[in-house]
Amino acid sequence: CHPCVAMRVPVGPLSLLLALSLLSPQGSVAGSCPPRCVCASNLLSCSQANLSAVPAPLPRFTAVLDLSHNNVTRLRADWAPARLPHLHALLLSHNGLAFVSTEAFTHVPRLRHLDLSSNRLRTLDENLFSDLGELEVLLLYNNEITTVDRTAFENLGRLRKLYLGQNRIARFPLELLREGTRLPQLALLDLSANRLRAVPAGELQALPAWLRDRLYLHNNPLACDCPLFQLLARGRRRRLSAVVDFQDELRCVLPGAPTPVGILALAGRQPLNCSEAREAVLEAHLGDSVTLGCDSRWQGVRSRHWVTPGGERVLGDGGNGSVVLLANGSLQLQALRPEDAGTYACWVAGPLLNETLYVELLVHNFTLHGPHDTLNTAYTTLVGCILSVVLVLIYLYLTPCRCCCCRGAEKPPAPRDDSINSSVLSTTPNHAGGTGEPCGSRAASGAGTGQNGRFKGGGTPPLPPRQGPKTQRKVSDPDSVSSVFSDTPIVV
Q: How confident is the model at residue 165 (pLDDT cuts 50, 70, 90)?
A: very high
Residue 206 C-beta-side C-alpha neighbours within 13 Å: 9
Long-range Cβ contact pairs of 248-252 (< 8 A, separation 24 or more): 249/192, 249/218, 249/219, 250/217, 250/218, 251/218, 251/219, 251/222, 252/221, 252/222, 252/223, 252/224, 252/225, 252/228
Cβ-in-10-Å burial (0-12, 13-18, 19+) of 153 comes to buried
CA distance 51 to 67: 8
Choose the weakest-confidence range: 67-81, 220-234, 293-307.
Answer: 293-307
**Mean pLDDT, residues 139-165:** 93
Greatest CA separation for the chain:
170
Within 8 A by CB and 6+ apart from 260, the residues are 221, 251, 252, 253, 254
CATH superfamily of 282-364: Immunoglobulins (2.60.40.10)
Q: How confident is the model at residue 296 (pLDDT cuts 50, 70, 90)?
A: confident
Q: Out of 1-5, 173-177, 486-490, give the one with best mean pLDDT.
A: 173-177
**Mean pLDDT, residues 392-402:** 74
Instruction: Please state, for a pLDDT cut of 70, what percent of the chain lies above it.
Output: 68
Within 8 A by CB and 6+ apart from 27, the residues are 20, 21
CA distance 453 to 431: 32
**Mean pLDDT, residues 40-64:** 92
pLDDT at res. 366? 67
pLDDT at res. 482? 41
**Mean pLDDT, residues 206-218:** 90
Work out the mean pLDDT of the chain and round it to a whole number: 75
Q: Out of 17-31, 168-182, 371-385, give the one with best mean pLDDT.
A: 168-182
Statement: residue 449 has pLDDT above 50: no
CA distance 42 to 31: 10
Terminal C-alpha separation, the chain? 140
Within 8 A by CB and 6+ apart from 411, the residues are none
Query: Which one, of 284, 242, 283, 281, lies nearest residue 264 by Cα?
Result: 242
Q: Are strands 342-349 and 303-307 parallel, antiparallel or unpaired?
A: antiparallel
CA distance 385 to 98: 78
pLDDT at res. 364? 83
- For residues 365 and 19, the model is more confident at 365
pLDDT at res. 380? 73
Full-prediction pTM beyond 0.75?
no
Phi-psi region of 41 (alpha: psi -120 to 50; beta: other; left: phi over 0): left
- For residues 239 and 1, the model is more confident at 239
Q: How confident is the model at residue 331 (pLDDT cuts 50, 70, 90)?
A: confident
Q: Are strands 323-325 and 331-333 parallel, antiparallel or unpaired?
A: antiparallel
pLDDT at res. 11? 39
Torsion of CA 399, 404, 405, 408, to 10 degrees: 170
Query: Which one, of 141, 134, 298, 328, lies nearest residue 211 by Cα?
Result: 298
Statement: residue 347 has pLDDT above 80: no
Q: How confident is the model at residue 160 (pLDDT cuts 50, 70, 90)?
A: very high
CA distance 263 to 253: 9
Domain ranges for the chain, please list them.
282-364
Q: Using one digit for the tens of pLDDT, what is the confidence trace for 109-151?
A: 999 999 999 999 999 999 999 999 999 999 999 999 999 988 8
* Cβ neighbours around 182 below 10 Å, total: 19
